[in-house]
Structure 1
């Protein structure tokens, strides 16, 4: 039985896609549904699905970043992008290595996509290096997002005090039970905002998820080391501790 994951941060759209897939591809086993890019990448690493349906715009890692990492994490996974941006999508997918679905998803379009993906799975087809070229083209054409500007300040609790912390001064965020630890060179503070919500509010070019529970400020990194298993360890400029990078997220650091 073929396996698939669906990554879409909007619950209604995710449920709609799952319902449509149930009719268009009834023997596809959905092994994970994800609300953000980091969770999607971890699911791909864990399950090695035959196909991944990736929303291009997601909190944290975008669908493009997940797809780029998937080439290493699960080379046999076929990628289908889900997008609202018809004006740039069609040309980029002419190469045929991946497919796309335009929101709102039309059942006949999904049926055609399923047939193409099934054919690629049956033939054992991989992207053959074309995925990287498609991703470059998509990044260049990706429309500017209309979301609110990224956070500049954050209010956090430190003991009995409430501190106003400049986001640029934060080395990393780390989930801790009901709280999220905010770590700066001067010590830690706590916020109640979950990691997933922070990913959506922070500048994605500066803050990257490196573990299910950790977001790091890329400007705070001094070096990265890799062990024999491929996992990484980050050293920080103004903090003595090191941060582990899960194997799933290591492809994001391949140029460092």
Structure 2
């Protein structure tokens, strides 16, 4: 399950960022030997996973890549993350963590990590968070045959509405991965059926009456005269207002 989630999360980040190289951090229990399982203590280490979710790859091919990355990373899980940072010497900044700025964590502990102790009643409580350690941190827990989780974010980089859309896009993308593992990851859907209908129909419902005896260039000149500073066209190289475009 984790590999599928990692493939989906990396693909979504690639689509949003426009980058084919994605590095995601994930915590690992770091208890490879059975004699460590019963010990009380903090053994957790952090792995930096380098994924290349290129758009032309099929879902199946991306999953194979993620599997290889995970196996290679777990083979060296004893290496402390701090030593990785020290060896790579990446540019450091107080504004973000080194190596990666996005985290993915899955808690698949049987029972969701719940404890049963004599004469004690336990319940999970939400602790308030005032700071985010990473730009984005997705934490998921297996519970009741499904997944529940939270998406922590840096509020100076993202608005809540954006994060809610990201969560929705991830769900739709994962559903697309499960439906067809031969589909190219760059073509996986991000919008639900209702959202697609809204974009294609509601947002494009721009029918307006105009004089039948007026030519198109005359209508444009009228618009330029009424709103010369309004945006007319834009692409990755720049933009033009109605006034600027009409002057050409």
The TM-score, its normalising length taken from structure 2, stands at 0.22
Q: Which has the higher strand share?
A: 1
Which fold has the larger relative contact order, with Cα–Cα distance below 8 Å and residues 6 or more apart in sequence? 2
The TM-score, its normalising length taken from structure 1, stands at 0.21
Q: Which has the larger radius of gyration?
A: 2
